[in-house]
Chains A and B, each alone.
Chain A
Amino acid sequence: MNLEFAINKKTKGPYYIGYAPVACTLKIKDGAAGSPPVNITLSNNTRKGGQIEFYKDLNSREADTLTLPVPGDGKVLSFFIGGKFQAPSTEDGDAAINFVNNGNSLKIVPLMVRVRKDANNLTPGERDRFLSAFVKFLESGRYKNFLDMHNAAASPEIHGRSSFLPWHRMFVLDLERHLQAIDASVTIPYWNFQHPAPNVFTLDFMGRPSSTGVSALQFNSSNPLVNWHISGAPQLVRTPEFDTLTDKANVESETTTLRRGPNFEDFRVMEGNPHGSAHVSFSGNSPITNVTIAPRDPLFFMLHSNVDRLWATWQAAGNANDRIDPTDQEAYFFQGDAGAPGAQRIGDNVDDTLWPWDKDKARPRPHTAPGGTMINSPFTAFPGKTPKVSDAIDYQGKTNKQNLLFDYDTIPFIN
């Protein structure tokens, strides 16, 4: 029996999923017309590595195994799979689905349950793959676009306004997808600045400041970040003003952040603390403390991955879909688009497109729109080339059935 499996219409791997369910299909390629359905049981092939859950459809609960009556005549059967919460992969392809019929394994499809993890808890392999991909991306010359998207010219467009969180969600996603084009197993881990993270500020990871000279960051010779050299910039400096071994950054507690509410306008106060406070938890000569050059430090994206995780956590704590439905003011206050009467400045309304991916250079946007359109993922066409504010809100696709294909290790998909 020739079984064809596809995720989001992709029939060939490698495959990567998060916790949010993705659409799959099964088909008996050599099925004959009139043949009866064949029962095929899907299960995890191994107890090690990433674990998968199965959904008959999006109205069903997840299950560890699923038996499906696959049409014998070659017609396609749809179902869904998602990564099991708290059981993500640590290596590429360490998860697998076993397709069994009458005790015989017809097919084993390896995949990866790929989620954003706490940088403090990464395995050495995960850490090094992330750093390698990041450095290779820097070497390609394309990282300059990201610096240009978050410089002095961009700052009025992306800070101090309602769309701060949606914009930075897309910014992090854009980089992550570029890294995944180099190494598909990589995600952007988050620096959980509201807890001590002693494993992050090490010679093998984000580096430690030298005790002499200008306190430039030191890395082990085998650390890919030894290659981190931003053209036209001096040596990278980042001197913490907190004890990285025992303390969190100089920010409020996670509990304080997450209890803000009830709506988005209350929550987004976190742009100041903990977001801004995390940035300035280092000495004044550290680029990460300066809004116009902060992305010169690779820690920037890990900081923002955590900012985004906090938003996602807050969203998940809402009632039903009220914090993830873009049409709900609790999820995002400014509805409509910039053309509507009483609308906010363009970029702040839920139906506005996001600069620079929309290439909009008309005032009041910045004069140039570097970086081009949003990169696609091989597994989804969402959010498309010119994302809107609304596209950033329901990142798991609970209301619009389109997810951005990233998840956090601490946030399950609750159907």
Chain B
Amino acid sequence: MMDSATADENYRKIFVSSSDQDEIREALSNVSVLTDKESVKKATGILKDDKADPGLRVLALYKLAHAIASDKNLILYVLRLLKNKNLPGDIRKAAFSCIQSIRFSSPVIASVQTQITDIFKGLVEDKNQKIREDVISYLAQEKDEYVQRKLLEGIHEPAKALLPEEKAIHLLGYDIHAGIYPILRNIVEKSSNNYSRMEAIHILGSEPDAKDLLLKVYNNKKERYGVRKNSLMALKTYHPEEFNRVATSTAVDDQENPNIRAISINALAHSNNESSYNNPDITEHLKKIGRKVGSAVLKKALDYYLTNQGQKQN
């Protein structure tokens, strides 16, 4: 039986020498990343051939990742593929994925960073939803001011929204300096979009003045589970004393939603604060109710808390 190194070499040879499209496709599908000159040259030719089958071009792009990562001109070519709205979506998406991937490995990526940013910014209103979302996500993660402007515009004027509101809020949340807290408060207090509210409450945690709102939301037992959970976690990260108080109260509240209780106990057990993870009142109560607990997740949280009593935090 042929070993894999030999098989790969065979596929490479076929790829380089064949002119039959099916043979080329099969060889390209099976060969590993192309690194030798001949294969790279042929694959680049396929990639740059506007008349070639889109699927084959995508395959060539995928196998050329290593060559692209070391070649500024090829990177720029891939960017042009992404920018070209007349190309099939698959090629453009593969181009985006290629750029994302080579950011982890390319020694020359910095030299084309401005072109990448320029082209990505030009695509924030692209008709292809996946591409639009992907470039907006990338730019938002880089705290780009243009994309922040566009996202905010979409929140204020829904007709201009590039993404659903909750996604826009989520992406704005990458920048604590984005100045969006007043908008988030408004959304939590007034919006009927619970996904937006979940995002907003999570991000509001980093705003010190939002403490009372977080407490109000959490203490409302009729509030949606995801919103309450996020408010509890936000309290934990930013207002540890208030968190300790409300989570302790929840942990011993037998009338509380078991999932919320489980999360509270879980959060207390993993807290940095000894009065949270080593609380005698909680311990006593949990020991008392231990066997009677019906909910599996609550039982698990309870067991963890009791098992880890007294374990020293670092």
Q: Are chains A and B touching in the complex at the 8 Å CB cutoff?
A: yes
Q: Please give the residue numbers on chain A whose beta carbons come within 8 Å of chain B beta carbons, in ascending order.
A: 128, 132, 135-137, 139-141, 156, 159-161, 164, 181-182, 212-214, 216, 220-224, 226-227, 229, 231-235, 237, 252, 255-256, 259, 269, 271-273, 275-277, 279-280, 283-285, 287, 289-293
Provide the residues of chain B in CB contact with A159, threshold 8 Å.
Answer: 104-106
Whether, in the assembled complex, B233 has its beta carbon less than 8 Å from a beta carbon of chain A, the answer is yes
Are the C-beta atoms of B195 and A212 separated by less than 8 Å?
Answer: yes
A276-B101 CB under 8 A given contacts A221-B262, A227-B233, A256-B32: yes
Kindly state the separation between the CA atoms of A378 and B266 in the bound complex, as whole angstroms: 29
Kindly state the separation between the CA atoms of A176 and B107 in the bound complex, as whole angstroms: 28
Are the C-beta atoms of A233 and B4 separated by less than 8 Å?
Answer: no
Are the C-beta atoms of B69 and A272 separated by less than 8 Å?
Answer: yes
A221-B105 CB under 8 A given contacts A229-B233, A229-B236, A234-B199: no
Whether, in the assembled complex, B146 has its beta carbon less than 8 Å from a beta carbon of chain A, the answer is no
Kindly state the separation between the CA atoms of A277 and B103 in the bound complex, as whole angstroms: 11
Q: Which 4 A-B pairs have the closest CB atoms?
A: A284-B134, A234-B173, A213-B195, A160-B107
- By secondary structure, the B interface counts as helix
Are the C-beta atoms of A292 and B142 separated by less than 8 Å?
Answer: yes
Are the C-beta atoms of B271 and A139 separated by less than 8 Å?
Answer: yes
Kindly state the separation between the CA atoms of A232 and B204 in the bound complex, as whole angstroms: 9
Kindly state the separation between the CA atoms of A237 and B65 in the bound complex, as whole angstroms: 25
Q: Render B248-285 as a binary contact track against A, CB cut-off 8 A, 1 for contact.
A: 00000000001110110011001110000000000000
How many Å from the CB of B107 to the closest CB on chain A?
4
Provide the residues of chain B in CB contact with A276, threshold 8 Å.
Answer: 65, 101-105
Are the C-beta atoms of A132 and B270 separated by less than 8 Å?
Answer: yes
Kindly state the separation between the CA atoms of A223 and B262 in the bound complex, as whole angstroms: 9
How many Å from the CB of A12 to the closest CB on chain B?
17
Q: In the complex, given contacts A221-B298, A291-B103, what are 11 additional A-B residue pairs having Cβ atoms less than 8 angstroms apart?
A: A140-B272, A222-B266, A224-B270, A231-B206, A235-B170, A256-B4, A271-B105, A275-B104, A283-B137, A285-B137, A290-B141
Q: Which residue of B lies closest to A152 (CB)?
A: B142
Provide the residues of chain B in CB contact with A291, threshold 8 Å.
Answer: 103-104
How many Å from the CB of A109 to the closest CB on chain B?
23
Provide the residues of chain B in CB contact with A128, threshold 8 Å.
Answer: 304
Are the C-beta atoms of A293 and B8 separated by less than 8 Å?
Answer: no
State which size class the interface on B falls in.
Answer: 35 or more
Provide the residues of chain A in CB contact with B205, threshold 8 Å.
Answer: 229
Are the C-beta atoms of B105 and A284 separated by less than 8 Å?
Answer: no
Are the C-beta atoms of B33 and A269 separated by less than 8 Å?
Answer: yes
Kindly state the separation between the CA atoms of A290 and B104 in the bound complex, as whole angstroms: 8
Are the C-beta atoms of B202 and A234 separated by less than 8 Å?
Answer: yes
Provide the residues of chain A in CB contact with B206, threshold 8 Å.
Answer: 231-232
Whether, in the assembled complex, B77 has its beta carbon less than 8 Å from a beta carbon of chain A, the answer is no
Are the C-beta atoms of A235 and B4 separated by less than 8 Å?
Answer: no
Are the C-beta atoms of B104 and A279 separated by less than 8 Å?
Answer: yes
What would be 5 A-B contacts, judged by CB atoms less than 8 Å apart?
Answer: A159-B104, A216-B198, A234-B203, A252-B32, A272-B69
Q: Render B273-314 as a binary contact track against A, CB cut-off 8 A, 1 for contact.
A: 000000000000000000000000110110010001000011
How many Å from the CB of A172 to the closest CB on chain B?
16
Are the C-beta atoms of A280 and B100 separated by less than 8 Å?
Answer: yes
Are the C-beta atoms of A136 and B313 separated by less than 8 Å?
Answer: yes
Provide the residues of chain A in CB contact with B142, threshold 8 Å.
Answer: 292
Kindly state the separation between the CA atoms of A188 and B107 in the bound complex, as whole angstroms: 28
Q: Render B134-153 as a binary contact track against A, CB cut-off 8 A, 1 for contact.
A: 11011001100000000000
Provide the residues of chain A in CB contact with B66, threshold 8 Å.
Answer: 269, 272-273
Are the C-beta atoms of B297 and A141 separated by less than 8 Å?
Answer: no
Provide the residues of chain A in CB contact with B8, threshold 8 Å.
Answer: 256, 259
How many Å from the CB of A357 to the closest CB on chain B?
19
How many Å from the CB of B257 to the closest CB on chain A?
10
How many Å from the CB of B121 to the closest CB on chain A?
15
How many Å from the CB of B69 to the closest CB on chain A?
5
Provide the residues of chain B in CB contact with A231, threshold 8 Å.
Answer: 206, 237-238
Kindly state the separation between the CA atoms of A256 and B4 in the bound complex, as whole angstroms: 8
Q: Which residue of A lies closest to B299 (CB)?
A: A222
How many Å from the CB of B145 to the closest CB on chain A?
16
How many Å from the CB of B138 to the closest CB on chain A?
6
Kindly state the separation between the CA atoms of A316 and B69 in the bound complex, as whole angstroms: 28
Provide the residues of chain A in CB contact with B244, threshold 8 Å.
Answer: none
Are the C-beta atoms of A139 and B133 separated by less than 8 Å?
Answer: no
Provide the residues of chain B in CB contact with A140, threshold 8 Å.
Answer: 272, 313-314
Provide the residues of chain A in CB contact with B199, threshold 8 Å.
Answer: 213-214, 234-235
Are the C-beta atoms of B202 and A235 separated by less than 8 Å?
Answer: yes
Kindly state the separation between the CA atoms of A283 and B133 in the bound complex, as whole angstroms: 9
Provide the residues of chain B in CB contact with A212, threshold 8 Å.
Answer: 195
Are the C-beta atoms of B65 and A221 separated by less than 8 Å?
Answer: no
Provide the residues of chain A in CB contact with B65, threshold 8 Å.
Answer: 272-273, 276-277
